[in-house]
Amino acid sequence: MKKWLLPLSLTVLLGGCILGPQTVEVVPDIKVAERTAQLSGPVAVTVYDERTTPQLGTRGGIYKTTNFIYLDEHFAQSIKVAVDNALRSMGMEPVSSTEVPQVQVYMDELSYAVPYGDYISGVDLKAAIRVEILKDGRRYAGRYVSEDHYRTIKAPSDSQNEEMVNAIINKVLARAMDDQTLLNFLSGTTGS
């Protein structure tokens, strides 16, 4: 019985280190704070991928040079739908037109890092976006950054990675949608 214990233990340990590449399905669901004053009117949302690389990072472990994490090919559209839904929940009407206020969301950074490389004891995530709004000849620009640090005793599974990546995207988008200066600009109650 004991002679099987060592090979079994090594298999379990090494199995956690052999991680393949992963494509994360982005399904953001932005939670916006309740507001007493509602926004109204049409708005058009566009999302741009301004990241310098398509990889978020690597999953770490012994194959850290090849086990990249990517976003699915429809992630920009998924983010647009989530921003549309958030604005709709605030009373706006998302449309496809250049004649209405334009909300442009730029994904500048989305990173996934295993701090210790070969030894996976945690994951650090960071998301940075810019939101630019063009309305009535005026322009608003805001930058939003969110970071999360997860500690773990073993490498995160595909589903855990998907959950963490979506959580950081939700967090940074919610930060933008909760920015009172941005909301005031959209409502027309402040100049910029």
Identify which of 126, 140, 132, 130 has the alpha carbon closest to the alpha carbon of residue 168: 126
Q: Say if residues 127 and 172 touch (Cβ distance below 8 Å).
A: yes
CATH of the domain at 68: 3.30.160.150
Identify which of 169, 174, 179, 171 has the alpha carbon closest to the alpha carbon of residue 56: 169
Which pLDDT score, from 0 to 100, does residue 74 have? 96
Within a domain: 100: yes
Measured from the Cβ of residue 71, the count of other Cβ atoms closer than 10 Å reads 22
Identify which of 113, 106, 91, 129 has the alpha carbon closest to the alpha carbon of residue 161: 113
Domain of residue 41, residue span: 2-187
Q: Model pTM?
A: 0.86
Identify which of 30, 3, 28, 57 has the alpha carbon closest to the alpha carbon of residue 177: 30
How many domains are contained in the chain?
1
pLDDT tens track for 121-157: 889 999 999 999 999 999 999 999 999 999 988 889 9
Confidence tier at 10 by pLDDT (50, 70, 90): very low
Within a domain: 192: no
Q: Which of 4-13, 15-24, 63-72, 103-112 has the highest mean pLDDT?
A: 103-112
Which pLDDT score, from 0 to 100, does residue 148 have? 97
